[in-house]
């Protein structure tokens, strides 16, 4: 475990930082995890019955009702100090013409709501939906929807913009991730369990390309041994403190 001041020093000296976030960053916002969202009326369903292209083809009403419930729960939650600190860190970097890329596995859209701009949503988004006829994306949809599935202005049924089981990750997100990991000089993985690939492998990619790597998590993960440095604690507490220390070093 490394001191927060040493990590702040490392970040303040970086020209290009890549950050990967997972569900842990949203935990303090009260976001239900994928499995926690299968409660109440939905407890009888298996994820495979709801989170696959086959499920949507079989019963678009059921699938879009479930995703709309998740979307509404997420919209009722707010970004926490961890999300805000990452948005501030990005602003500190871009003001100084340095690069900051945020690769998130979270589908809750909270980084964007906190003001992060250069965000790559590698597992897609619950907030952005896509027309199955034209591929066009929609963000400002009614809450709740008027129909299930909702229908686009082109007359096509909409589907959630998340990556389902059995689907590949969006090619543009993978490309942007690869580019960031191979060129960053500091890589931070925050609140992610290190078991879901490809994100779990980001640390190895960044490290082999020469970046210094830092894991911020409540606990150790299967990838902990690969990181140069670790910080242990809640992201909603550690990140604001860390970013304050970076700011102090940049003035
Ligand atoms: P997990 O829920 O598997 O792991 C969350 C990680 O965050 C764990 O390592 C916790 O120790 C840590 N953690 C929890 N609370 C924290 C806090 N307040 N501060 C810091 N760390 C904390 O989530 P992910 O690794 O993000 O995929 O899971 C990755 C993907 O698996 C998700 O994006 C989702 C899921 O299946 C899809 O939706 C496609």
Domains of the chain (ranges plus CATH)?
Answer: 4-30+79-123+169-250 (3.40.50.1220), 32-76+127-162 (3.30.1600.10)
In the predicted structure, residue 149 carries a pLDDT above the cut 90: yes
Give catalytic residue positions: 123
- For 182-209, the pLDDT digits (tens) are 999 999 999 999 998 899 999 999 999 9
At 104 the three-state DSSP class reads strand
Distance (angstroms) between ligand 1 centre and the Cα of 151 equals 32
Tokens of 173: 């997100």
* Distance of CA 22 from the midpoint of ligand 1 (Å): 5
Q: What is the pLDDT of residues 74-95, one digit of tens each?
A: 999 999 999 999 999 999 999 9
Q: Whose CA is nearest to atom 18 of ligand 1?
A: 234
Q: Tell me how far the alpha carbon of residue 95 lies from the centroid of ligand 1, in angstroms.
A: 30
- The residues lining ligand 1, judged by C-beta closer than 6 Å to any ligand atom, are 22-24, 27-28, 33-34, 105, 107, 123, 163, 191-193, 196, 217-219, 221, 234-236
* Cα-only R_g, the chain: 19
In this predicted structure, the answer to whether residue 38 has a pLDDT above a threshold of 90 is no
Q: What angle do CA 200, 100, 11 make, to 5 degrees?
A: 85
Instruction: Write the burial class of residue 238 (CB in 10 Å: 0-12 exposed, 13-18 middle, 19+ buried).
Output: buried
Q: Which two tokens stand for residue 207?
A: 């490290």
**Relative to the CA of 196, which ligand 1 atom is closest?**
29
Please name the residue ranges forming H helices in 102-160: 110-114
CA nearest to 59, candidates 159, 137, 131, 141: 159
Name the token pair of 142: 């009614």
* Tokens at 63, concatenated: 């699938």
Q: Which of 206, 215, 212 is nearest to 235 (CA)?
A: 215
Has residue 32 got a pLDDT over 80? Answer: no
By alpha-carbon position, which residue is closest to atom 9 of ligand 1? 193
- Whose CA is closest to atom 39 on ligand 1? 123
Neighbouring residues of 43: CB distance < 8 A, sequence distance ≥ 6: none
CA of 152 to the centre of ligand 1 (A): 32
Band (171; pLDDT cuts 50, 70, 90): very high
């Amino acid at each position: 475990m490394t001191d927060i001041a040493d990590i702040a020093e490392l970040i303040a000296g970086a020209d290009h930082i890549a950050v990967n976030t997972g569900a842990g960053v949203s935990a303090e916002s009260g976001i239900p995890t994928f499995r926690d969202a299968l409660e109440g009326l939905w407890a009888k369903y298996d994820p495979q019955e709801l989170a696959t292209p086959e499920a949507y083809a079989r019963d678009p009403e059921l699938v879009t009702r479930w995703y709309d419930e998740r979307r509404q729960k997420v919209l009722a939650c707010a970004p926490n100090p961890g999300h805000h600190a990452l948005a501030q860190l990005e602003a500190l970097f871009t003001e100084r013409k340095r690069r900051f890329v945020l690769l998130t596995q979270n589908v809750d859209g909270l980084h964007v709501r906190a003001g992060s701009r250069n965000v790559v949503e590698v597992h897609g988004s619950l907030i952005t939906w896509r027309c199955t006829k034209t591929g066009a994306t929609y963000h400002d949809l009614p809450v709740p929807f008027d129909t299930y599935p909702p229908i686009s202005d082109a007359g096509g049924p909409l589907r959630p913009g998340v990556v389902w089981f059995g689907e590949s990750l969006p090619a543009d997100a993978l490309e942007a991730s690869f580019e960031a990991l191979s060129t960053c000089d500091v890589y931070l993985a925050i609140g992610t369990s290190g078991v879901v690939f490809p994100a779990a492998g980001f640390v190895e990619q960044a490290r082999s390309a020469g970046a210094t790597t830092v894991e911020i998590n409540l606990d150790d993960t299967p990838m902990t041994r690969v990181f140069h440095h670790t910080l242990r604690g809640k992201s909603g507490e550690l990140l604001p403190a860390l970013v304050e220390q970076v700011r102090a070093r940049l003035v």
